[in-house]
């Protein structure tokens, strides 16, 4: 892979990651959120594949395939099934409206650029310059997690945070060692499956689930 093609691929992939994160804040439909998550997973896989080809690591290309299978296909499919079963197609319990959500996302992106200055300074390559995109994903994921109260939205927020961390990992260091990488992917899949089972059981106990209703335990 030539230097300029690599730079362009990295730019496209991180652009897609940022765009899907911002749209995630804007859209209220849980179906659309799930599709955005699938696009985000595919963009992450593209990024990993590009870094793998550029640095000549066959290992990373294999990781890219796994990332695509899990984050681009499997997890969005699990979420889509959950939505279809629970019949909740709209996040109608968000604490912020779309406009203030977008403003907050812009603020968080600025914060991400400020915080990641020492990380960007470590390395002059095109990859390091995209690190703030990863941190933006982490912060936007937090925003989604904190402001939305449907169970499925919280899972989406968690996955956006995770995508952001994976982006930082691949951009700054070409990924952590393989055994750790695979362990992390497995953990994420298991957490999502557990949350799916718990939310199904909670719905059985509570009816249609708004996490605002989880107020029995407090001091």
- Where do contacts with other proteins occur on this chain (CB under 8 A)? 115, 118-119, 121-123, 138, 142, 145, 151, 154, 158, 161-162, 165, 168-169, 172-174, 176-177, 179-180, 183-184, 186-187, 190-191, 194-195, 198-199, 201-202, 205-206, 211, 214, 216-217, 219
With CA atoms as reference, report the closest residue to 44 among 36, 32, 55: 36
Q: What is the DSSP string of 61-87?
A: HHHHHHHIIIIIIIHHHHHHHHHHHHT
By C-beta, is 23 or 195 nearer to other proteins? Answer: 195
Provide the minimum distance between the beta carbon of 173 and other proteins in the complex, in angstroms, as a whole number.
Answer: 5
Q: CA dist 205 to 114, 130, 152, 199, 214, Å?
A: 45, 44, 17, 10, 11
By C-beta, is 98 or 183 nearer to other proteins? Answer: 183
By C-beta, is 36 or 137 nearer to other proteins? Answer: 137
Provide the minimum distance between the beta carbon of 206 and other proteins in the complex, in angstroms, as a whole number.
Answer: 7
**Crossing angle between the packed helical segments 151-173 and 131-147, to the nearest 10 degrees:** 170
- For the chain, the first-to-last Cα distance in angstroms comes to 59
Provide the minimum distance between the beta carbon of 56 and other proteins in the complex, in angstroms, as a whole number.
Answer: 16
Contact 209, 151 (CB under 8 A): yes
Rounded CA gap, 27 and 32, in Å? 7
By C-beta, is 99 or 217 nearer to other proteins? Answer: 217
Beta bridge partners of 151: none
Provide the minimum distance between the beta carbon of 89 and other proteins in the complex, in angstroms, as a whole number.
Answer: 21
By C-beta, is 11 or 202 nearer to other proteins? Answer: 202
Provide the minimum distance between the beta carbon of 131 and other proteins in the complex, in angstroms, as a whole number.
Answer: 9
By C-beta, is 85 or 201 nearer to other proteins? Answer: 201
Burial (Cβ within 10 Å: 0-12, 13-18, ≥19) of residue 125:
middle
Contact 160, 168 (CB under 8 A): no
Provide the minimum distance between the beta carbon of 47 and other proteins in the complex, in angstroms, as a whole number.
Answer: 15
């Amino acid at each position: 892979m030539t230097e300029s093609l690599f730079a362009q691929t990295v730019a496209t992939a991180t652009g897609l990651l940022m765009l899907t994160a911002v749209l995630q804040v804007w859209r209220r439909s849980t179906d659309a959120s799930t599709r955005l998550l699938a696009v985000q997973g595919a963009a992450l896989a593209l990024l990993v594949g590009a870094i793998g080809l550029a640095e000549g690591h066959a290992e990373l290309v294999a990781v890219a395939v796994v990332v695509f299978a899990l984050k681009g296909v499997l997890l969005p499919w699990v979420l889509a099934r959950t939505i279809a079963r629970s019949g909740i197609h709209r996040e109608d319990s968000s604490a912020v409206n779309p406009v203030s959500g977008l403003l907050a996302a812009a603020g968080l992106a600025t914060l991400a650029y400020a915080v990641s200055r020492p990380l960007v300074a470590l390395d002059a390559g095109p990859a390091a310059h995209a690190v703030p995109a990863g941190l933006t994903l982490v912060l936007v994921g937090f925003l989604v997690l904190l402001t939305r109260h449907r169970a499925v939205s919280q899972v989406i927020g968690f996955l956006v945070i995770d995508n952001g961390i994976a982006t930082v990992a691949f951009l700054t260091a070409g990924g952590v060692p393989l055994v750790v990488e695979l362990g992390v992917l497995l953990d994420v899949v298991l957490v999502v499956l557990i949350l799916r089972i718990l939310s199904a059981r909670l719905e059985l106990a509570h009816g249609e689930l708004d996490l605002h209703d989880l107020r029995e335990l407090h001091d």
